[in-house]
Structure 1
């Protein structure tokens, strides 16, 4: 299955590497940095599906060059599983120089660590 659909410039996928399952139903938000005011502006909120995926985070027409972040509410996720986590949330900050391209940002997550990369 493709990581993204045509016309959807930003997607994510969360994997719970501790349990070897998708990171299902993790709340997240997307923000864009206002370079003049140096403030993060909320663009949208969402949640991963049962497969740990979230697409359609931002409409193509609103996806412009700039600095963005996705904030994953990981503490709530682990609490929902009856576990504790060192990280109450994870923020992945990235720069978009060519908004014509698509961006897939997977998050590999455990209770005490995380990693991310630009996927395809």
Structure 2
């Protein structure tokens, strides 16, 4: 069964990014349709897949990580507005039967992602 999972690693502190709100969108033409929300646990992961089963179809999706709120809670200094506040990761699902792991490696002035398994 196909699914989308994620986790957040705070690469500046070398630990999981906990309590980060993630909004989930499906891209339909020029529209972003909000289809869900999750929050990372103490391990920086979500307790359940972001999408799975019939909810996951071929198409384009976006995960919107509310990183600025996390950095504020962690007491990470930075200018206002923050350089990174909300981080959108847009990705395509070509096969809805596969596992798409879309992690976020976060620091106050940079981020990266990759497709994991």
Which TM-score applies when normalising by structure 1? 0.88
Instruction: Pick the aligned partner of 1:18 from 8, 12, 23.
Output: 12
Residues matched between the structures, number: 112
Query: Hey, what does 1:98 align to over in structure 2?
Result: 95
Query: Hey, what does 1:75 align to over in structure 2?
Result: 68
CA RMSD, Structure 1 to Structure 2 (Å): 1.2
Query: Hey, what does 1:3 align to over in structure 2?
Result: none
Distance in 2 between residues matched to 1:58 and 1:98, nearest whole Å:
13
Gaps of 5+ in 1: 1-6
Query: Hey, what does 1:50 align to over in structure 2?
Result: 42
**2:21 maps to 1:27:** yes
